[in-house]
Amino acid sequence: MTATPFPHVLLTGFAPFDGESSNPSWEAVQALEGEIIAGHRVVARCLPVEFGASLHALRHAIEELMPSLVICVGQAGGRTQISLERVAINVDDARIPDNAGAQPVDEVIVLDGPAAYFTGLPVKAMLAALRSSGIPAEISQTAGTFVCNHVFYGLMHALREQPGVRGGFIHIPYSPAQAALHPGAPSLPPAVVSQALRLSTAIALTVQHDVRIAAGTTH
């Protein structure tokens, strides 16, 4: 008898960018490749740090794998915690060029798309679980306006007609190796980030209704 294959979870990280030699989002995601979490097999994919090409690669992976859950992960140097993103906005406004040299300013991601999408993840439940495990975490109200937000918005737009598939975005700090080149910058070891992603994935697969706890900001 042939064993029934596990359904998939798609986790994505990014290639290095902005002169960095590594990207901890890909290192942390890649470490989970093939793991079984809550009855689902993790498939890790690395996205290019390029407007347009990143979404093409993401859509291709979704079509290929038909995952039950998609969590995209990106590096946000300077952040101090695991940042569970709540909102993706329909604008590209690049402070620096992407890896292909593109630098869109005040351009929409999806013509005639909504101004914003909210995450499909139970981010409050994920926040509570991470903090209970001693992992520094926060709810973030902005994913920026670079390729990370581009991917987050594009993901939620792609999943808008797949109500059974959850999706969202998580930002992570520098790795210690990167922080050594950016004096004073906070960091988290890739192993801690992988643990955070493992736990977040489990919560996203098992918690149907998010908890109601205060996690907003005053600024």
Residues 23 and 190: their CA atoms lie apart, in Å, by: 10
Instruction: Report yes or no on 216 lying in a domain.
Output: no
Instruction: Report yes or no on 112 lying in a domain.
Output: yes
pLDDT by residue (tens digit) across 60-95?
Answer: 999 999 999 999 999 999 999 999 999 999 999 999
Can 46 be counted among the known catalytic residues?
no
Number of separate domains in the chain: 1
Q: Please give the share of the chain, as a percent, with pLDDT higher than 90.
A: 89
Dihedral (CA of 45, 119, 82, 67) sign: negative
Instruction: Report yes or no on 137 lying in a domain.
Output: yes
Task: Identify the burial level of 34 via C-beta atoms within 10 angstroms of its C-beta, where 0-12 means exposed, 13-18 middle and 19 or more buried.
Answer: exposed
Residues 60 and 40: their CA atoms lie apart, in Å, by: 20
DSSP 56: H
Can 148 be counted among the known catalytic residues?
yes
The model's pTM: 0.95
Q: 131 is in which domain, residue-wise?
A: 8-206
Instruction: Report yes or no on 215 lying in a domain.
Output: no
Instruction: Report yes or no on 2 lying in a domain.
Output: no
- 3-class DSSP assignment, residue 45: strand
Whichever domain contains 100, its CATH number is 3.40.630.20
Instruction: Report yes or no on 218 lying in a domain.
Output: no
Query: What letter represents residue 177's amino acid?
Result: A
Residue 176 in contact with residue 99, Cβ under 8 Å?
no
- Catalytic residue, chosen from 50, 148, 150, 157, is 148
Can 56 be counted among the known catalytic residues?
no
pLDDT at 174 over 60: yes
Q: What pLDDT sits at residue 191? A: 92
Q: What pLDDT sits at residue 5? A: 82
Instruction: Report yes or no on 38 lying in a domain.
Output: yes
Instruction: Report yes or no on 98 lying in a domain.
Output: yes
pLDDT at 3 over 60: no
pLDDT by residue (tens digit) across 121-154?
Answer: 999 999 999 999 999 999 999 999 999 999 999 9
More confident residue, 5 or 121: 121
Q: What pLDDT sits at residue 1? A: 47
- Catalytic residue, chosen from 20, 27, 50, 85, is 85
Residues 84 and 61: their CA atoms lie apart, in Å, by: 22
